[in-house]
Amino acid sequence: MAEALAFRGVSAGYGETVVLEDINLTLAGGENVSIIGRNGVGKTTLLATAMGHTRLHKGEVLLGGMNINRMPIYARALAGLGYVPQEREIFPSLSVRENLEIGARPGYWNEARIFELFPRLSERLTNMGNQLSGGEQQMLSIARALLTNPDVLLMDEPTEGLAPVLVETLTAVLLKLRDSGLSIVLVEQNSRVALGFSERAVIMDKGRIVYDGPSAALRDDPEQLAKLVGIVEAAAPH
Amino acid sequence: MTMPAQQVTPGLSGHPAALALINRHRVRAWEPLPWIIAIAFYFAFPNHLGFGTDLLVTILFALSLDLALGYAGIVTLGHAAFFGAGAYTVGMLAHHGIWTEPISGLFLAAGVAALIGFASGLILLRTTGLTLLMLTLCTMALLEEAANMGEKYTGGFDGLPNLPIPPLFGLFEFNPLYPRVQYVYVLCVLFVCFVFVRTLVYSPFGQSLTGIRENVLRMRAVGAPVNWRLVTCYTISAAIAGIAGGLWAQANAYVNLSTLGLDRAATVLIILVLGGYGRLYGAFIGAVVYMALSHFLAKVYPTAWQLGLGLLLMLIALFARNGVLGLWDQLTSRFIGKRGPT
């Protein structure tokens, strides 16, 4: 399959500060990848670089084979990049329906499919964004990104700060999305969720990719996972 | 040819998103109230129609600022630039005998103000916060100084008095002593502009402005061309401010530098803060409270009436973060459990 998203020799950061160094990562169409790593290793910066939120110092970012280095953020979204931010960033004074409509574009993902995926949202349509629980906000954030009908979906720690029962619910949704054929880059600190999500895993440390290979190898070798991630806890079963 | 449209329309009108959009545009039961009061004012206070006309013009001006500041979050201290541009367009055209017809004069005022809004917005709206605030102020100061220096055309410091404004539709004469025609005329224009702004803010475009105000980065990430939407909003807002300025010039039959000054720009900002921004009717409430209070305090205490206004503003800033309407929302949510503003 043709490449959906690619980073070629990318060094990027904020202002003069370089956070990512020489990143080479290619995602084929329909492929899913989980990105694992400790806090501050550049996982979020990698997604932010794809979206154009950072300063690109070197290399190129390709979307569907097209160089998007100089493309403005909104044009990247229109070109097929969907982004679910870590902080959810729901519009507080818009209703749930308005939050959903605000970036909606025609395509496979429509309201009916969204409500099938997140029945809870259909019950909260007239509520304002600031009246939702953390889990509902996360659902809305994912739904809002899906309704832009992206080719590649970037998800930044969707399970962060959620109760275990909600993590289970959301993990089931992630697996459904994975099976829908959408290309997904999942940044996740919860290694159990991350390694269960995709066949391919990437581990980052100090702004570089230190592992790019099958998730199964890491699932079967917790010691190796702990060594690569840099903390023993990462390998501990949750 | 009409068949396909007839086939499509019923399907669309039943769509949940279409129903939600229709519901958003629905006229609330209390919404005719300000207009009924405005009509009643005409009959109840025939000797205060000059004040009433000024009030309606101020509401329109505040409404234009609400679109930019309240909905799109464009922080500006130079909105009087567009008010003045509209006023001077009407004034100069009438004074030099080029164009005097009132209604088309308003379109010209809107066009000139929109042009200035578009040109300045293209550059200014790349900035935010204090920089934007200062640049809008500078734009206004530049226009004010241009009007001051171009004495031959603008009348300079003295302005252009005794503008020859012909009767409306050739029938209704503008009488400066009995401004009945002016009042009705301004009220009609305000209503048309209000309906336009109301439609705009409840449309998907209006919702995207709210999104931009709340989270620019997120709006970009869902594919919204933020800069263009801001420039569009700023241009529309400028056009409406231009109409307000044009109305002011026509109703008073003169134009001077006060239409372009910081005093006017600051006053309209205070009015909006007083009434509550980003909620349409804040412009109405703020203008009524501010002007009625100024009127009343100036009579009671002519030498220091602004002290009373200052104290009121301090109270509003301390206890009612989003003006009188914000206070109303707080009270209703406390006692009735009503949901927040939309």
Q: Where do the domains of chain B lie?
A: 45-282
pLDDT class of B310 with cuts at 50, 70, 90: confident
User: Which residues have a Cβ under 8 Å from the Cβ of A97 and sit 6 or more positions away?
Assistant: A125, A126, B17, B20
Q: Is B321 on the interface with A (CB under 8 A)?
A: no
Q: SS3 for A156? A: strand
Beta bridge partners, A55, equal A13
Residue A89 lies in a domain: no
Contact check, Cβ <8 Å, B339/A73: no
- Terminal CA-to-CA distance of chain B, rounded, Å? 39
Chain A contact set for B333 (CB, 8 A): none
For residue B209, give the chain A residue with the closest CA: A102
Residue A30 lies in a domain: yes
- Residue B307 pLDDT > 90: no
- Does the interface ipTM go beyond 0.95? no
Q: Two tokens at B192?
A: 């048309």
B180-231, pLDDT tens digit by residue? 999 999 999 999 999 999 999 999 899 999 999 999 989 999 999 999 999 9
Contact check, Cβ <8 Å, B208/A102: yes
Q: Please give the C-alpha separations between residue B139 and each of A168, B85, B253, B321, in angstroms, as whole numbers.
A: 56, 12, 26, 29
Residue A226 lies in a domain: yes
Contact check, Cβ <8 Å, A73/B217: yes
CB A196 within 8 A of CB A171: yes
Residue A11 lies in a domain: yes
Number of domains in chain A: 1
Which candidate in A73, A81, A95, A126 is best for mutational testing of the B interface (most B CBs within 10 A)? Answer: A73
Pairing of strands A152-156, A32-36: unpaired
Contact check, Cβ <8 Å, A74/B223: yes
Q: SS3 for A221? A: coil
Q: Which residues constitute the domain of residue A6?
A: 1-79+188-238
- Output the average pLDDT for chain B: 89
Instruction: Please report how many Cα atoms fall inside a 13 Å half-sphere around the Cα of residue B328, on the Cβ side.
Output: 11
B133-158, pLDDT tens digit by residue? 999 999 999 999 999 999 999 999 99
> What CATH number corresponds to the domain at position A7?
3.40.50.300
Residue A227 lies in a domain: yes
- Output the average pLDDT for chain A: 90
Which candidate in B201, B220, B322 is best for mutational testing of the A interface (most A CBs within 10 A)? Answer: B220
B230-259, pLDDT tens digit by residue? 999 999 999 999 999 999 999 999 999 999
Q: Look at residues B62, B22, B70 and name the one whose alpha carbon lies nearest to residue B341.
A: B70
Residue A38 lies in a domain: yes
Q: Is A145 on the interface with B (CB under 8 A)?
A: yes
Q: SS3 for A42? A: coil
Q: Look at residues A141, A149, A72 and name the one whose alpha carbon lies nearest to residue A105.
A: A149
Tokens 């007083």 correspond to B274
Residue A97 lies in a domain: no
Q: SS3 for A117? A: helix
- Model pTM score: 0.85
Percent of chain B with pLDDT over 70: 93
Neighbours of B288 (CB within 10 A): 19
Pairing of strands A152-156, A183-187: parallel
Q: How high is the pLDDT of residue B299?
A: 84
For residue A147, what is the DSSP state? T
Q: Please give the C-alpha separations between residue A75 and each of A30, A80, B221, in angstroms, as whole numbers.
A: 21, 9, 9
Give the E-state strand segments of chain B in sequence order. Answer: none
Chain B contact set for A123 (CB, 8 A): none
Q: Two tokens at B273?
A: 């803060």
Q: Is A14 on the interface with B (CB under 8 A)?
A: no
